[in-house]
C-alpha cells in the first residue's frame, strides 16, 4: 500500500533549538511534542508546558494533543484536557497541560523530553438545525452504562485470573 501524501503544515520554531515534531515510526498517528522547559511535578500537581512550536493548519483541519501511553503507564502523567484541541486558526505556541496523577512520586521533565503527541485530523464543520423531534435509533436515549457496567457483564471472565469462575458476573 503506497499511502497518501502527507499534508503540508506550516510550522514555526518558537524556540530555535527545538526538534521539528516527527513520527517515531511509519504508521504512527501522532508526532511527538517536547517540552522546552524543565519541570518537576509533585503528586497531584499540574503545569502548562511550552512545546517551542506553533503551526498553521489548513482550513478544515484540527490538531489534537494526546497523551503518551508510556508516560501514563510508567509515571501516571495525564493531560488535564486530553485531547487538547488546536484550532486551524491558532498561531500561538502549542502548550501541553500535564498533570501528575501518581499518588506518591514526583515526575521530572528535562528540556526536550517528549511529553505528548500531536494528531492532525480533518474535521467537519456542521450547521445545527433545530427540530422538534429527533429520528428514532436503536440506542435512543440510552447511555452512561445502559448496556451494563463492567461488573454486570455476566458473560465476561477476568482473563488469566486464578479462580476466574468465582469472578464471573460479579
Ligand X SMILES: O=c1ccn([C@H]2C[C@H](O)[C@@H](COP(=O)(O)OP(=O)(O)OP(=O)(O)O)O2)c(=O)[nH]1
Sheet architecture: strand order including 77-79? 46-50, 95-100, 77-79
Residue number, 54 or 157, with CB nearest to ligand X: 54
Q: Which residue is nearest to ligand X (CB)?
A: 84
DSSP string, 132-157: SSPPP-SSTT--SSTT--GGG-TT--
Residue 34: how many CB atoms within 10 A of its CB? 22
Q: 87 vs 105, which CB is nearer to ligand X?
A: 87
Residue 43 near residue 106 (C-beta atoms within 8 A): yes
Binding of ligand X at residue 53 (CB under 6 A)? no
Q: Are 106 and 41 in contact (CB under 8 A)?
A: yes
**Residue 147 marked in a binding site:** no
Q: What is the CA radius of gyration of the chain?
A: 21
Q: Is residue 61 close enough to count as binding ligand X by CB under 6 A?
A: no
Among residues 7 and 80, whose Cβ is nearest to ligand X? Answer: 80
- Contact of 116 with 68, CB cutoff 8 Å: yes
CB of 67 to ligand X, least distance (A): 11
Shorter beta-carbon distance to ligand X: residue 94 or 99: 94
> Applying CB under 6 A, what is the total number of residues that bind ligand X?
11
Is 68 annotated as a binding-site member? yes
Is 104 strand, coil or helix? coil
65 lines the binding site for ligand X (CB under 6 A):
yes
97 binds ligand X (CB under 6 A): yes
Among 90, 101, 111, 114, binds ligand X (CB under 6 A): 90
Q: Assess contact for 66 and 83: CB atoms under 8 A.
A: yes
121 binds ligand X per the rule CB under 6 A: no
CB of 134 to ligand X, least distance (A): 27
Binding site for ligand X (CB under 6 A): 65, 81, 84-87, 90, 94-97
Amino acid at each position: 500500500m503506497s499511502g497518501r501524501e502527507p499534508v503540508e503544515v506550516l510550522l514555526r520554531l518558537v524556540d530555535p533549538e527545538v526538534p521539528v515534531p516527527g513520527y517515531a515510526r511509519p504508521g504512527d498517528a501522532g508526532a511527538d511534542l517536547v517540552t522546552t522547559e524543565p519541570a518537576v511535578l509533585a503528586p497531584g500537581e499540574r503545569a502548562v508546558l511550552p512545546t517551542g512550536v506553533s503551526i498553521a493548519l489548513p482550513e478544515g483541519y484540527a490538531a489534537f494533543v494526546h497523551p503518551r501511553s508510556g508516560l501514563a503507564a510508567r509515571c501516571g502523567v495525564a493531560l488535564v484536557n486530553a485531547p487538547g484541541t488546536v484550532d486551524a486558526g491558532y498561531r500561538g505556541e502549542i502548550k501541553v497541560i500535564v498533570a501528575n496523577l501518581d499518588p506518591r512520586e514526583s515526575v521530572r521533565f528535562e528540556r526536550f523530553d517528549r511529553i505528548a503527541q500531536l494528531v492532525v485530523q480533518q474535521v467537519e464543520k456542521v450547521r445545527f438545525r433545530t427540530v422538534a423531534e429527533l429520528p428514532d435509533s436503536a440506542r435512543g436515549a440510552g447511555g452512561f452504562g445502559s448496556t451494563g457496567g463492567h461488573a454486570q457483564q455476566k458473560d465476561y471472565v477476568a482473563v488469566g485470573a486464578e479462580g476466574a469462575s468465582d469472578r464471573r458476573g460479579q
